[in-house]
């Protein structure tokens, strides 16, 4: 959910983080007892709120892909699948190595779809899907790579003729962004494993053990509770799905999102928000027959490796609690660092505003009056960005940042952005970049890029995909000139900004400070999501 990083999922401070105390380490027994009590008090929660997490999303995309599964604390794996005659079959194996190999087809087939739009974020894809449905076009949301796509629904537009008629009709109406994505296949990927000298080819299987299962994927490995299932996805490859209770799922999310050394109240707030986020987003991967992913496009989920006692205690203490608005789970967005002011939903993505996702100055002090000095004014913005003290995030290295980029580098980034979005590249060089629209929270709503072939626009959230820097959309540009004799030419720009990530909702770094100041998890959530209320899943489930 937080912005991608190259080293650590959770934020780090300049100063040393607080270490886990001996008292917290001794709490393991208390946690176990509390978990048993919760299981007794909320038996329906564990049953009703099991979720399906895609832990390996596109297995087989790369040649030679393998997955090794082994029991982490038992003697054998149990593999269930259907035999050739359709009857259920079971194998007991000490280890399972899954491989995907290409198999020739009896005849070539056309693999084709209409891609209506591409997006950096699910939020924009979801809004765009709604707009297509409002025009009478049935759609589905896909994620064939790290880019989200809105497809014309394949069941509806199931023939080449229907797909081409759709493209033609859209072009007549002035919609020129839709395109056909197709390839002729003479082979397909087939998953399977070898046991007893025989290869078993199966598209679907279920893997369990009496304990947990370790999944080794290249250089990474994670250990999962619950059940694992291999199943086909919409892209010709496979997904390994973990069916797991939501409370166990959180054990693999919370410490990796907020950090193992976060103050306890911040961890409780993260547990509630992560639970809310999962409940609100269980529809994301309907096209692939699971519910939520395991990376920063959703929430980081690393199974039961490196669980943390403090996080376990916070999950148990808040079991079943989610944050609501009008008795519905909120859109529980959060990010690493806001840069001093949170962003309303509509400042970053398209779609209706959320009353609880507003612009909040990220400080317990009166360091800035946003009503009197809105940040869509350039002078106000630069004065705000010059402040580096008095905010909840002031001690963090992503609170303020500055980085220079040449026009040549920006050109290469923009070309890469267009290639990833399957759009035509018809320019050779960027000549100038301008911010033309900014929100009251300081976020850029629109940039224009003047190239040697004309002017293009990049909106809000897409800016972070089109260029690097920035790492947020809270920034301004400072031109850098190269002097040659009596003349000077534009070399590039300094990106001067604040924050890391989209900046909507809770700031994880800000939550650290609020917890250190003695705020409870409830008070932290009220600060970042005004007007919301805590409810239990049981309470909502019974309505």
pLDDT for 409-454, tens place per residue? Answer: 999 999 999 888 878 888 999 999 999 999 999 999 999 999 999 9
* pLDDT given at position 355: 97
pLDDT of 522-535, one tens digit each? 999 999 999 999 99
From 481, 497, 513, the end of a domain falls on 497
Cα three-residue angle 213-219-220, rounded to 5 degrees:
40
From 187, 218, 246, the end of a domain falls on 187
Question: Running along the chain, 543 residues long, what does each successive block of 10 average in pLDDT?
Answer: 40 37 40 41 54 97 92 92 94 96 94 96 97 97 96 97 97 92 94 95 96 95 97 97 97 97 98 98 97 97 96 97 97 98 97 96 97 98 97 97 96 92 87 97 97 94 90 97 90 97 98 98 98 93 63
DSSP string for residues in 122-184 = HHHHHHHHHHHHHTT--EEEE-SSSSEEEEE-TTTS-SHHHHHHHHHHHHHTT----EEEEEE
Show Cβ contacts of residue 200 under 8 Å, excluding neighbours closer than 6 positions: 81, 192, 193, 194
| Residue 170 · residue 136 · CB < 8 Å | no
**Residue 242: inside a domain:** no
- Total domains in the fold of the chain: 2
**Residue 448: inside a domain:** yes
* pLDDT given at position 207: 97
3-state SS class at 521: helix
* pLDDT given at position 9: 39
Assessment of whether the complete model's pTM goes beyond 0.85: yes
Closest residue by Cα to residue 242 from 35, 50, 95, 46: 50
**Residue 444: inside a domain:** yes
Residue 154 lies in domain: 102-187
| Residue 13 · residue 392 · CB < 8 Å | no
Parallel, antiparallel or unpaired: strands 444-451 and 430-438: antiparallel
CATH of the domain at 118: 3.30.70.1070
* pLDDT given at position 5: 34
**Residue 136: inside a domain:** yes
**Residue 148: inside a domain:** yes
From 169, 187, 205, the end of a domain falls on 187
DSSP assignment letter at 46: H
Phi, psi for 266 (deg, rounded to 5): -65, -35
Parallel, antiparallel or unpaired: strands 88-93 and 77-82: antiparallel
DSSP string for residues in 289-350 = T--EESSTTS----BTTT--HHHHHHHHHTTTEEEEETTEE----EESB-SSB---HHHHSS
Tokens for 340? 């001093």
**Residue 332: inside a domain:** no
pLDDT of 10-23, one tens digit each? 444 333 333 334 44
| Residue 161 · residue 312 · CB < 8 Å | no
**Residue 442: inside a domain:** yes
**Residue 122: inside a domain:** yes
């Amino acid at each position: 959910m937080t912005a991608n990083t190259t080293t650590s999922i959770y934020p780090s401070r300049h100063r040393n983080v607080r270490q886990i105390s001996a008292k917290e380490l001794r709490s393991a027994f208390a946690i176990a007892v509390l978990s048993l009590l919760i299981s007794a008090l909320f038996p329906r929660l564990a049953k009703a709120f099991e979720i399906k997490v895609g832990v390996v999303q596109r297995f087989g995309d790369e040649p030679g892909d393998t997955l090794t599964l082994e029991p982490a604390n038992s003697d054998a794996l149990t593999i269930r699948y259907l035999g050739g005659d359709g009857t259920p079959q079971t194998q007991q194996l000490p280890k399972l190595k899954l491989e995907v190999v290409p198999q020739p087809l009896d005849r070539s087939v056309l693999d084709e779809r209409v891609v209506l739009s591409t997006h950096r974020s699910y939020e924009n894809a979801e809004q765009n899907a709604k707009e297509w449905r409002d025009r009478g076009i049935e759609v589905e949301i896909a994620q064939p790579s790290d880019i989200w796509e809105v497809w014309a629904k394949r069941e509806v537009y199931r023939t080449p003729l229907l797909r081409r008629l759709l493209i033609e009709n859209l072009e007549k109406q002035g919609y020129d962004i839709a395109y056909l994505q197709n390839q002729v296949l003479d082979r397909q990927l087939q998953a399977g494993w070898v046991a007893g000298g025989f290869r078993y080819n199966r598209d679907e299987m279920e893997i369990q053990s009496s304990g947990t299962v370790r999944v080794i994927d290249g250089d990474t490995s994670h250990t999962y509770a619950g059940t694992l299932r291999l199943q086909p996805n919409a892209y010709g490859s496979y997904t390994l799905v973990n069916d797991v209770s939501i409370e166990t799922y959180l054990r693999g999310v919370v410490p990796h999102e907020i950090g193992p050394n976060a103050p306890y109240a911040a961890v409780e707030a993260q547990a509630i928000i992560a639970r809310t986020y999962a409940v609100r987003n269980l529809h994301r991967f309907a096209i692939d027959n699971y519910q939520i992913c395991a990376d920063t496009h959703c929430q980081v989920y690393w199974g039961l490796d490196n669980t943390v006692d403090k996080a376990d205690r916070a999950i148990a203490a808040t079991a079943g609690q989610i944050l609501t608005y009008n008795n519905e789970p909120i859109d529980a967005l959060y990010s690493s660092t806001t840069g001093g002011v949170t962003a309303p939903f509509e400042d970053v993505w398209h779609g209706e505003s959320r009353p609880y996702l507003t612009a909040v100055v990220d400080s317990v002090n009166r360091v800035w009056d946003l009503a009197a000095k809105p940040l869509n004014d350039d002078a106000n913005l630069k004065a705000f960005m010059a402040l580096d003290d008095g905010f909840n995030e002031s001690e963090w290295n992503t609170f303020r940042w500055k980085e220079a980029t040449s026009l040549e580098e920006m050109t290469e980034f923009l070309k890469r952005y267009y290639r990833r979005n399957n759009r035509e590249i018809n320019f050779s060089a960027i000549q100038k970049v301008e911010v033309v629209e900014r929100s009251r929270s300081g976020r850029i709503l629109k940039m224009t890029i003047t190239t040697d072939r004309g002017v293009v626009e990049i909106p809000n959230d897409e800016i972070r995909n089109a260029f690097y820097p920035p790492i947020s959309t809270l920034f301004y540009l400072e031109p850098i000139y190269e002097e040659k004799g009596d003349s000077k030419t534009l070399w590039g720009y300094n990106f001067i900004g604040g924050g890391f990530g989209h900046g909507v909702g809770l700031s994880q770094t800000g939550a650290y400070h609020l917890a250190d100041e003695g705020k409870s998890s409830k008070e932290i959530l009220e600060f970042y999501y005004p007007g919301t209320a805590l409810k239990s899943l049981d309470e909502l489930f019974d309505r």
